[in-house]
Structure 1
């Protein structure tokens, strides 16, 4: 990950000390992520290609001698929250605190005795933008607790523990992509993840070296995975797999779609078709990045967005406008990224067209009466780590 400037690190430690009375035991950082391609394929045991970004959550933590947990963030209206490790249960936490407390609960489910602790959280990952701000918090916290308690968890263990926190404590039926990118990212690379067995291959992805910039367009349409839209898509995929007689949609190939169309209702078939074709697009993207470089993946990004818009139906007018406007003003490929129903789009853009794309998207949103979007570049960064 890009090194955290000393003043920023000192500020987090200093704030912790002023709030909790003494210095933290350490400071940990975990990045958000952008999913380059491979949407909703993770919980179908398929392929994804995210990368860690140069925006991250930082947590300063100090263990306590009792079971009390005290949590505070540097943003938002939620003040200091106090609870006990012994009373945690699904649904017992509110706001951002459900993510660190979910990690504590999940570690408890593994039989680990997590002591109380004080925690100050700071993050520059945009909230609700589809850049995995929640998983960044979870990954920073599990890294901290793993180090401080000597639990000895490996990266795969931490991925599954944070997934359990999301699924069973937070109530969001997500897969393993986001935390895998945050924990296993590498500067200048995307993380090619096989969600069936957690195997990872780092794929070179350096847009700047190719004369490109990856722009994130935060539409300001907030989304949440713990709602009906995400859950209903997952349910459709499970129904499709059951009807087709496979363990997961990972096992359905492009050549099987014609037969599937005769076995499934039209809505379920469209959901299945997105997953099957999206897995294929991930594999094609990996091949093109490996052999030809980032300048050759634009059409695959476009096709991915069309599939999410038309087959999986998780886009929205703001995302569609961001993608269409970016392409019309110089981007070589664009797509929505994340779970959908809001959040962000990405636009792979030649460096010389960066400002044109930014300006055009802002103008288009204003003309449509939408909230002004944030448009900013991200670069592939390293994964979670201890900073101090």
Structure 2
């Protein structure tokens, strides 16, 4: 595909997304219809789409509107791409710009458009992040780093780095997270690498790894990953020698890949239903990576930035509160209830913990930490609650 054809395809996919279809579904549907497209074409088109979703407001301002075509015009202007070449009207490419399109568009003047944060959310975003708000918003406009977790149950970072290098994948050690590697080159080779196939590595954000690293895991402990999803944290937990890991999710289908991932990693993870949890408890550690706004991970899932509403945020806060109360009953008397979100918002983080402690006077918060995208990872928060 030519660069112009890739732009036209991105325009069509963006229009589908703007019409209400989730981004991943729109991209997958296009890929299935387009067997002719090579891997480089698919990667380039995906990059176009996600770059636009990260900077939808600022690109809309530059492009003069919020259609797929206008957003890609804004993208080209932002990146210094010649509009005459990109919109030449050539085969499979977009038609030339109309005079009105040539004249439309300007740099975003409003701070929320310039920083690509929804207008309704900006006051809370700014209040919660203080002096860091602008820099965090700007960081969210860019792609997240590709990061790996080294399976410490099988190897160490140094040996894994050497093996990856032999396969054309260049990495550096993360500065603060002991299990994490930052990928510098060869990211698209990871899933087919021997290191991945042999269970030496998993793709996982460094801040997500840091949430597990903050726990005092000891042999003999029984640990519950209550909102396990695809099992990233459950796998990180199970890499620790002598720790028994149980995974749960309210939607069991989300855990369907855990057995395969666990076998590759050489660990055992028991996936259980909600009905079985009461009989299996209590647990020494209950990790709750709760449903949240995902604001700390908007570089990876940027559509969520524009889909979030005040009503949905209120709903998520209520769900988090309910889950915390449920998980308190699954935690042993001397155990730790570890709450985590990939959110940057205080209402989902410190305020949620304060509300729990207020409603449960026998509990106290003994540890808390927040990460932002300025610290070489996603935005995350975690707090340890004990009786």
TM-score (structure 2 length as normaliser): 0.28
Q: Name whichever structure is richer in strand by fraction.
A: 1
Q: Which has the higher contact order (CA 8 A, sep 6+)?
A: 1
Q: Choose 1 or 2 for highest CA Rg.
A: 2
Structure-1-length-normalised TM-score? 0.28
